[in-house]
């Protein structure tokens, strides 16, 4: 992580929701857009690094058999653990990317609001590890704020640029607004079978 851990410690000092995930309409709406972008209702195993206080995590827990969340800040790990207490399928661990990438396969990896905190080399390693960890029908979702963030080595748009050039994935969805960019990349193209009955 290029941005020092003290940056996040200061954010969480005396504030359990420093980005106002629970109260800002922008954050609530973006979360709903992200969740609606997922092509499947249920995933076997999800990994969400940089989970912060676990607001998105709680929604992901509803759609998976096993959810692994991670954050480098101890306060965030505690807050996310408390937020996810009702879901026995969810686990939160402390870790710093790219070095603390977890083992095993995932069929959904959510990289939301994290890319700008790493320099381009570290971020490319994160993306490569994500690709290597995807199951045969896995999905990688990226979502980032597009405005500059002081002290960060990359912009949100720069965080999305390496995908097409460096990873063997198929882009299934690209949604851009004035404030954020969301992309969904799949190991194999997802084709909707219109003859298949709805579940």
Which CATH number characterizes residue 160's domain?
A: 3.40.50.150
pLDDT of residue 150: 84
β-bridge mates for residue 67, sequence order? 46, 90
Query: Which residues contact residue 85 at a Cβ distance below 8 angstroms, ignoring those fewer than 6 apart?
Result: none
Q: How many domains does the chain contain in total?
A: 1
Confidence of residue 49 (pLDDT cuts 50, 70, 90): very high
The residue segments making up the domain with residue 23 are 5-186
Sign, CA torsion 156/75/67/36: negative
Mean pLDDT of the chain: 89
Give domain status of residue 193, yes or no.
Answer: no
Give domain status of residue 28, yes or no.
Answer: yes
pLDDT of residue 95: 94
- DSSP string for 6-38: HHHHHHHTT-S-TT-TTT-HHHHHHHHHHHHH-
Query: Dihedrals φ, ψ of 6, to 5°?
Result: -60, -25
pLDDT of residue 11: 59
Give domain status of residue 126, yes or no.
Answer: yes
Give domain status of residue 129, yes or no.
Answer: yes
Is residue 15 scored above 90 in pLDDT? Answer: no
Is residue 99 scored above 80 in pLDDT? Answer: yes
CA-based radius of gyration for the chain: 16
Give domain status of residue 195, yes or no.
Answer: no
Average pLDDT over residues 65-81: 94
Give domain status of residue 191, yes or no.
Answer: no
Average pLDDT over residues 115-119: 92
Confidence of residue 12 (pLDDT cuts 50, 70, 90): low
Q: Using a pLDDT cut of 90, give the percent of the chain over it.
A: 71
Is residue 55 scored above 70 in pLDDT? Answer: yes
Give domain status of residue 196, yes or no.
Answer: no
> Distance of alpha carbon 189 from its chain centroid, rounded?
20
Give domain status of residue 199, yes or no.
Answer: no
Confirm whether pTM is higher than 0.75: yes
C-alpha distance from residue 134 to each of 103, 115, 168, 188 (Å): 11, 18, 11, 11
pLDDT, tens digit, for every residue of 142-168?
999 999 888 889 999 999 999 988 888
Average pLDDT over residues 72-98: 94
């Amino acid at each position: 992580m290029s941005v020092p851990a003290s940056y996040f410690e200061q954010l969480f000092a005396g504030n359990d929701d420093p980005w106002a995930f629970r109260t800002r309409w922008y954050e609530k709406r973006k979360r709903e857009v992200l969740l609606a972008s997922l092509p499947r209702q249920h995933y076997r195993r999800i990994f969400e690094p940089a989970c912060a206080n676990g607001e998105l995590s709680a929604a992901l827990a509803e759609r998976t058999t096993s959810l692994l969340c991670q954050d480098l800040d101890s306060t965030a790990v505690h807050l996310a653990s408390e937020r996810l207490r009702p879901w026995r399928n969810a686990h939160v661990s402390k870790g710093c990317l790219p070095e603390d990438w977890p083992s095993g396969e995932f069929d959904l990896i959510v990289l939301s609001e994290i890319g700008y905190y790493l320099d381009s080399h570290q971020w490319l390693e994160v993306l490569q590890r994500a690709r290597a960890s995807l199951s045969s029908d896995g999905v990688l979702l990226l979502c980032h704020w597009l405005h500059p963030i002081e002290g960060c080595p990359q912009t949100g748009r720069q965080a999305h640029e390496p995908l097409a050039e460096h990873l063997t994935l198929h882009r299934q969805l690209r949604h851009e607004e004035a404030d954020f960019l969301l992309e969904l990349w799949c190991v194999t193209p997802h084709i909707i079978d219109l003859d298949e009955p709805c579940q």
